[in-house]
C-alpha cells in the first residue's frame, strides 16, 4: 500500500512537471464528491420509484429502502443477495453512495466478471448520476499499453488514460481482472491504483464468478482491505457462493446474518420466482432447436462454444429477428446488437437469439423461453 502511494505520487509529480513545461494543466479533484452523487441518485430514484404499481416494482422499492437503511452500518464486509429482477444494480449503488457519504469513504468501485456487464452497468450509472466524467469504465477495451503516446487522440483520450491509471474518480466500474491485478501485480504502473482502494466501497457483482483456482488469495486480499484499510466490501449476487465461515468454508469470510443488505432474501426469491426449469429427457439435435426457433417469435438459446453458436445461428439466419451474440464481437458491435435486441423484445417483435454464455451473467434481458446446452448448475441458476 505504501509502495502504491509512492509510485502514484512519483508518476503524478513527473506528469505535472512535463505538463507545466508543455503548457498543460491536469485538473485533479474536479469531480463531484460522493455526497453530491448520492443526492443525484436520490433524485433519480425518486423519479423512477412508484412509476409502476405492480408487485415486482414494490419488491424493488423494498430492496432499495433496505439498502439505504443498511448504509448506516459500520464499514466492513456485507452481502447483497437479490434474485434476478430485484433491482440489485441500483440498490447496490444506492447502498454504496449512502454508505460512503455517511462514513467518509472516498469512492465506489463496482467489480463485475464480464465486459458486457461492465458496459451495461456503466451506462446505467451514468444515466442515474447524470454524469459522464464521474463514472469511469475500465476494462481490457479501454486499457493502454505502457508504450502508448499520451498525445495521440487529443485531450479526451489523455483524460481517460490518466483516469484509468490510478482510479482517482468517485465511481469506477471495472472487471475482476483489473481489480485483482491491482492487488497482486508486480509492475509499478499496475500498482498505482492500489492506495485508492483503501477507504472505498467495493461492490463485487456476480461474486460467485471469482476464479476458483485463485479464490483463497483473492479472499485474503478482500478481507485485508476491509479489516485494515477502511474499505467496505459487498458480495453482490443472485446466487451467493458459500464463502462464509457459517457456510462451512474453512478460512472463509466472517459475515453475520446482520450484514445482509437485502430484506429476507428467501422471501424475495419466492416472490420473484418467474422461471420454470425443465430438464429434457433426451439429447436434442440442432435440428430440433432450429425447429423450435421456427415455432417461437421470441426465444433464446445459449450454447457452450463460439463455434457452436455460429453454426446454430447460420441455421436460423433466414428467420425474422435472428440475432447472434458472442465474445468475438467487437464491443461497439455487441452494444448495438444488444440495444436492437432489447428494442425488439420491448416492442414484441421477433427476436430469435443464439448466444454464448456471455449473456448469462447480468445482461438485462427478458425472454419467454430459453434453451440452455447442458452445463453446470451455476449456469442454470444464472
**pLDDT at position 105, please?**
96
Residues present in the chain in total: 382
Residue 276: inside a domain: no
Whether residue 141 is predicted with pLDDT greater than 70 in this model: the reply is: no
For residues 307 and 370, state if they share a domain. yes
Least confident of 26-35, 73-82, 153-162, 367-376: 153-162
In a domain, 9, yes or no: no
User: pLDDT tens-digit profile of 273-292?
Assistant: 878 889 998 999 999 999 99
Instruction: Output the pTM of the full model.
Output: 0.81
Domain termination residue (choose one: 271, 306, 328): 271
Q: In angstroms, rounded to a whole number, what is the distance separating the alpha carbons of residues 273 and 270?
A: 5
- The tens digit of pLDDT for each residue in 50-66 reads 566 678 888 889 999 99
Domain that holds residue 199: 30-271
- CA 366 vs. chain centroid, Å, equals 18
Angle, helices 115-129/88-103, rounded to nearest 10 degrees: 60
Residue 148 has pLDDT above 70, yes or no: no
Distance of CA 35 to the CA centre of its chain: 22
Domain count, the chain: 2
Q: Same domain for 303 and 234?
A: no
- pLDDT, tens only, 214-230: 889 999 999 999 999 99
In terms of domains, do 184 and 333 share one?
no
Q: Which of 271, 300, 325 is the last residue of a domain?
A: 271
Residue 2 covered by a domain: no
Residues 267, 290 share a domain: no
Same domain, 251 and 160: yes
Last residue of a domain, one of 221, 244, 271: 271
The CATH number for 267's domain is 3.40.50.300
Contacts of 296 (CB under 8 A, 6+ apart): 352, 368, 369
β-strand partners of 353:
300, 323
C-alpha span between 216 and 250 (Å, rounded): 10
- Distances from the Cα of 85 to the Cα of 58, 361, 363, 382, angstroms: 12, 13, 11, 12
Residue 114, phi-psi category: left (phi > 0), alpha (psi -120 to 50), beta (remainder): beta
252 and 319 assigned to the same domain: no
Amino acid at each position: 500500500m505504501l509502495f502504491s502511494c509512492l509510485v502514484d505520487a512519483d508518476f503524478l509529480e513527473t506528469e505535472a512537471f512535463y505538463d507545466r513545461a508543455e503548457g498543460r494543466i491536469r485538473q485533479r479533484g474536479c469531480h463531484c464528491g460522493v455526497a453530491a452523487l448520492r443526492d443525484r441518485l436520490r433524485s433519480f430514484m425518486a423519479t423512477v420509484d412508484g412509476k409502476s404499481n405492480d408487485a415486482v416494482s414494490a419488491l424493488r422499492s423494498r430492496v432499495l429502502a433496505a439498502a439505504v437503511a443498511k448504509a448506516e452500518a459500520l464499514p466492513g464486509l456485507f452481502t447483497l443477495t437479490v434474485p434476478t429482477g430485484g433491482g440489485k444494480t441500483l440498490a447496490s449503488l444506492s447502498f454504496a453512495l449512502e454508505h460512503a457519504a455517511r462514513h467518509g469513504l472516498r469512492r465506489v468501485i463496482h467489480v463485475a466478471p464480464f465486459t458486457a456487464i461492465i458496459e451495461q452497468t456503466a451506462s446505467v450509472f451514468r444515466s442515474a448520476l447524470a454524469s459522464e466524467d464521474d463514472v469511469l469504465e475500465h476494462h481490457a477495451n479501454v486499457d493502454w499499453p505502457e508504450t502508448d503516446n499520451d498525445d495521440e487522440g487529443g485531450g479526451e483520450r489523455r483524460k481517460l488514460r490518466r483516469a484509468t491509471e490510478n482510479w482517482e474518480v468517485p465511481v469506477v466500474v471495472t472487471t475482476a481482472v483489473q481489480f485483482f491485478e491491482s492487488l497482486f501485480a508486480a509492475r509499478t504502473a499496475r500498482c498505482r491504483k492500489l492506495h485508492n482502494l483503501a477507504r472505498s466501497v467495493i461492490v463485487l457483482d456476480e461474486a460467485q464468478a471469482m476464479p476458483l483456482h485463485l479464490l483463497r488469495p483473492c479472499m485474503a486480499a478482500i478481507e485485508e482491505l476491509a479489516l485494515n484499510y477502511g474499505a467496505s466490501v459487498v458480495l453482490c449476487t443472485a446466487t451467493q457462493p458459500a464463502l462464509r465461515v457459517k457456510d462451512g468454508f474453512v478460512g472463509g469470510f466472517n459475515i453475520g446474518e446482520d450484514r445482509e443488505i437485502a430484506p429476507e432474501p428467501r422471501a424475495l426469491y419466492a416472490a420473484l420466482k418467474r422461471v420454470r426449469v425443465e430438464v429434457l429427457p433426451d439429447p436434442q439435435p440442432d435440428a430440433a432447436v432450429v425447429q423450435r426457433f421456427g415455432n417461437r417469435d421470441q426465444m433464446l438459446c445459449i450454447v457452450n462454444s463460439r463455434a457452436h453458436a455460429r453454426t446454430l445461428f447460420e441455421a436460423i439466419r433466414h428467420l425474422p429477428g435472428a440475432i447472434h451474440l458472442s465474445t468475438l464481437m467487437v464491443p461497439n458491435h455487441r452494444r448495438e446488437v444488444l440495444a436492437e435486441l432489447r428494442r425488439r423484445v420491448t416492442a414484441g417483435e421477433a427476436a430469435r437469439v443464439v448466444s454464448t454464455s456471455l449473456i448469462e451473467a447480468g445482461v438485462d434481458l427478458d425472454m419467454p423461453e430459453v434453451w440452455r446446452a447442458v452445463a453446470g448448475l451455476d449456469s442454470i441458476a444464472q
